[in-house]
C-alpha cells in the first residue's frame, strides 16, 4: 500500500496536463488532476480552438466577395457576431465535456479548485491536502501587459473571444502570433483595425520574407500597421478610448486589445518555497525528463517556457507519462517543430529561418511568389509566398516557409519530410499534385541569386 493518496497529482487540466494524467491513469496509476477553471485549458477554452473558429467565421466575408468572379450573385450577406460567439461557445462546452469524459474513462479524479504545492509530495486545494508520489505542474501561461496609464481599459485575447458586440474600431497592440491573428479576424469582419508594433516589423523570430509577405498582405486588406510605435497611455472618453502614441498622436478605438506576450502561470503555486528552481521569467526549470530541481516535482507545457505550443505540451506530457508510468523512457525532440499563425492569409513554417541557416554555413534559398489560381477569377489581389532553405553542403532541406491559403495544411506534411532529413533532390523527385499551390514546393528549381536576399537583401 502506497504511503501517498495518489501516484500522480497534476496541477492544471490543459493540453499537457490532461494528456499526461489520462495516460498515467490508463497505465494504472492512481491519478488526480486539479483545475481551478474549465477543463481543457488555454488551447481548448480561450486559445487555439475558439480563435480558429472565429478565423473560419471571418473568412466567409472574403468567400462571398470571391464568389462573384465565379458567376455567383447573392444578396448582401449579413453577419451576426453574437450568433458566431454563441455557436463557438456551444462547441467549447462540447469539447470540455469530451475532456472530462476522457479523464473519467481513465479513472482520473478531477479536483476542482486552485492547487498549491506545500511540500514535495503534497498539494493543497482550497484547504484540503492531497499527497502524491509525483506532482506534475502543467499550469500554462497567462497574458502579460505593460504597466502604462489606462492599461485597465485594454482587453486580452481571452476577452476578445467573447466580446458582446463586434467593435467598429479596434487597436491591437503587439506584433506576435496573437496580435496578427486577431487583427485579421476583426479586419475581415469589417472593423477598422490599427495594429501598433514597437518593432519595425511583425512576427519577430520568423523568416524575414515571411514577415514582409504577411505584413504586405495584411496592409492590402486594410490593417493599418503602425511600426516603431509605442502606446504611452489609454484614456476613456465618452463611449470610446483614446490612445496617446509615439509622436504625441492620438488614436481612437472602441476596443483596445493587448497581445504583448504571455508569461508562465506559476505565481502563488508555492514552488520556490519547496525548493523548485525557477527562471527569471517565472518558468519551472526542468531537465530533458521534465523533472524540476525537486525530484518528485515535474512540469510540462507553457509553464516551463520552452516551445510554447499545444502539440509540444501534449508531447511533453506524453513523454512524462510514458517514462514514469509505462516503463518506456522517452524525451521530447524539439528539432523541426512546425507551427502556424492563423493570420489572413495564414503563415506556416518548419525548420530554420534563412537568418538561422546562414549562421550555420553555406545555404541556398528557393523562393516563389505567385497569385493563387483561385484569384485569377476572383480578382483578389492576394499573393502566396513559399520558401525553401537548403544546406549547400548536404542538400538537406533545413527550412520550409509559406504565407498563403492552406499553408498550415501543406506544411504539416512537409514537416514529416524535414523530420526524415529529406534533401532538395528528394523534394525535386517528388511528383506534384496538379493544380495545387502545394506542388510549388516540389517544383522550385531556381536558386535565389545571393545578392537578392539575406545579408545583401536588395
Chain contacts with ligand NDP (rule: CB under 6 A): 146, 173-179, 197-199, 204, 259-262, 308-309, 339-342
DSSP 27: T
Locate 146 and state its grid cell.
505593460
The pairing of beta strand 169-173 with beta strand 192-196: parallel
Report the C-alpha gap between 398 and 49 in whole angstroms: 29
Phi, psi of 255, deg, nearest 5: -140, 135
Report the C-alpha gap between 135 and 65 in whole angstroms: 53
Report the C-alpha gap between 313 and 14 in whole angstroms: 9
**Smaller CB distance to ligand NDP: residue 241 or 342?**
342
Shortest distance, CB of residue 153 to ligand NDP, whole angstroms?
A: 15
231 CB-contact burial (10 Å; exposed 0-12 / middle 13-18 / buried 19+): buried
**Smaller CB distance to ligand NDP: residue 31 or 45?**
45
**Smaller CB distance to ligand NDP: residue 315 or 444?**
315
Shortest distance, CB of residue 79 to ligand NDP, whole angstroms?
A: 24
Shortest distance, CB of residue 197 to ligand NDP, whole angstroms?
A: 6
Is 343:223 a contact under the CB 8 Å cutoff?
A: no
Shortest distance, CB of residue 199 to ligand NDP, whole angstroms?
A: 4
Whether the bond between 188 and the residue before it is cis, its omega within 30 degrees of 0, is no
**Smaller CB distance to ligand NDP: residue 17 or 175?**
175
Shortest distance, CB of residue 59 to ligand NDP, whole angstroms?
A: 15
- Beta-strand runs (E) in 201-346: 224-226, 231-237, 240-245, 249-253, 255-258, 262-264, 297-299, 339-341
The yes-or-no answer on residue 121 being catalytic is: no
Report the C-alpha gap between 193 and 151 in whole angstroms: 19
Shortest distance, CB of residue 169 to ligand NDP, whole angstroms?
A: 19
**Smaller CB distance to ligand NDP: residue 117 or 313?**
313
State which residue has the least CB distance to ligand NDP.
Answer: 176
Is 388:441 a contact under the CB 8 Å cutoff?
A: yes
Report the C-alpha gap between 298 and 135 in whole angstroms: 6
Report the C-alpha gap between 202 and 349 in whole angstroms: 15
Q: How many CA atoms lie less than 13 Å away from 414 in the CB half-sphere? A: 34
DSSP 155: B
Catalytic residue from among 107, 134, 375, 434:
434
Q: Which residues are catalytic?
A: 434
Amino acid at each position: 500500500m502506497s504511503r501517498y493518496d495518489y501516484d500522480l497529482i497534476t496541477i492544471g487540466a490543459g493540453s499537457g496536463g490532461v494528456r499526461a494524467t489520462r495516460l498515467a491513469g490508463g497505465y494504472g496509476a492512481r491519478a488526480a488532476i486539479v483545475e481551478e477553471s474549465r477543463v481543457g485549458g488555454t488551447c481548448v477554452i480561450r486559445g487555439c480552438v475558439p480563435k480558429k473558429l472565429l478565423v473560419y467565421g471571418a473568412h466567409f466575408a472574403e468567400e462571398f466577395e470571391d464568389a462573384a468572379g465565379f458567376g455567383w450573385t447573392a444578396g448582401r450577406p449579413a453577419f451576426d457576431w453574437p450568433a458566431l460567439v454563441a455557436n463557438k461557445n456551444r462547441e467549447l462546452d462540447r469539447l470540455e465535456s469530451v475532456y472530462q469524459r476522457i479523464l473519467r474513462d481513465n479513472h482520473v479524479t478531477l479536483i476542482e479548485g486552485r492547487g498549491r504545492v506545500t511540500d514535495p509530495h503534497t498539494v493543497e486545494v482550497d484547504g484540503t491536502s492531497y499527497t502524491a508520489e509525483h506532482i506534475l505542474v502543467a499550469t500554462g501561461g497567462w497574458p502579460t501587459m505593460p504597466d502604462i496609464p489606462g492599461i485597465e481599459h485594454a482587453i486580452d485575447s481571452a476577452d476578445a473571444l467573447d466580446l458582446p458586440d463586434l467593435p467598429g474600431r479596434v487597436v491591437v497592440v503587439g506584433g506576435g502570433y496573437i496580435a496578427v491573428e486577431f487583427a485579421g479576424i476583426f479586419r475581415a469582419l469589417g472593423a477598422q483595425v490599427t495594429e501598433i508594433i514597437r518593432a519595425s516589423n511583425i512576427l519577430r523570430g520568423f523568416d524575414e520574407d515571411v514577415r514582409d509577405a504577411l505584413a504586405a498582405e495584411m496592409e492590402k486588406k486594410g490593417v493599418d500597421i503602425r511600426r516603431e510605435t509605442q502606446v504611452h497611455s489609454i484614456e476613456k472618453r465618452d463611449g470610446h478610448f483614446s490612445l496617446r502614441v509615439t509622436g504625441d498622436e492620438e488614436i481612437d478605438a472602441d476596443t483596445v486589445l493587448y497581445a504583448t506576450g504571455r508569461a508562465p502561470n506559476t505565481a502563488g503555486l508555492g514552488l520556490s518555497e519547496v525548493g523548485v528552481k525557477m527562471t527569471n521569467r517565472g518558468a519551472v526549470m526542468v531537465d530533458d525528463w521534465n523533472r524540476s530541481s525537486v525530484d518528485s516535482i515535474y512540469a510540462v507545457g507553457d509553464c516551463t517556457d520552452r516551445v510554447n505550443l499545444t502539440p509540444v505540451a501534449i508531447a511533453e506530457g506524453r513523454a512524462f507519462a510514458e517514462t514514469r508510468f509505462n516503463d518506456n523512457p522517452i524525451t521530447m525532440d524539439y528539432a523541426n517543430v512546425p507551427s502556424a499563425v492563423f493570420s489572413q492569409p495564414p503563415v506556416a513554417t518548419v525548420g530554420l529561418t534563412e537568418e538561422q541557416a546562414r549562421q550555420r554555413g553555406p545555404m541556398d534559398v528557393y523562393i516563389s511568389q505567385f497569385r493563387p489560381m483561385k484569384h485569377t477569377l476572383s480578382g483578389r489581389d492576394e499573393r502566396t509566398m513559399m520558401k525553401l532553405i537548403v544546406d549547400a553542403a548536404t542538400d538537406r532541406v533545413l527550412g520550409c516557409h509559406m504565407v498563403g491559403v492552406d499553408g498550415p495544411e501543406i506544411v504539416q506534411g512537409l514537416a514529416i519530410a524535414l523530420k526524415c532529413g529529406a534533401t532538395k533532390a528528394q523534394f525535386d523527385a517528388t511528383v506534384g499534385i496538379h493544380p495545387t499551390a502545394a506542388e510549388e514546393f516540389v517544383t522550385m528549381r531556381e536558386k535565389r541569386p545571393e545578392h537578392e536576399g539575406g545579408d545583401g537583401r536588395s
